[in-house]
Amino acid sequence: MKVLIPTALRSYTREAHVEAVGGTLDELFADLDRRYPGLRFRVVDEQGQLRPNMRLFVNGIGVRDLRRALRPDDDVAVVQALSGG
């Protein structure tokens, strides 16, 4: 499936869009980490939870549960939330 990578993580992929596989978001990030070591840790914390500053969208719908099932034709967007005051 197609995965949109935010600018802050493109130092891992060198591309804005990459292909990955997985039956769930967790499996998708495991596949991405095999291809681009270190990428998963920037998105998922040590407890296996999505980091607070990261947002995931599957086919345009916001998702926080990494167990969310995926289909091969899904589009996944990883978005890094801005913070500050």
Residue 85 lies in a domain: no
Give the CATH number, domain containing residue 40: 3.10.20.30
Parts of the chain with a pLDDT under 70: 83-85
Q: What is the structure's pLDDT at 23?
A: 97
Residue 33 lies in a domain: yes
Please state, rounded to an integer, the average pLDDT across all residues of the chain: 94
Q: What is the structure's pLDDT at 81?
A: 81
Q: Are 69 and 31 in contact (CB under 8 A)?
A: no
User: Rounded to an integer, what distance in angstroms lies between the CA atom of residue 64 and that of residue 84?
Assistant: 22
User: Rounded to an integer, what distance in angstroms lies between the CA atom of residue 12 and that of residue 47?
Assistant: 22
Range of the domain at 37: 2-80
pTM: 0.91
Residue 29 lies in a domain: yes
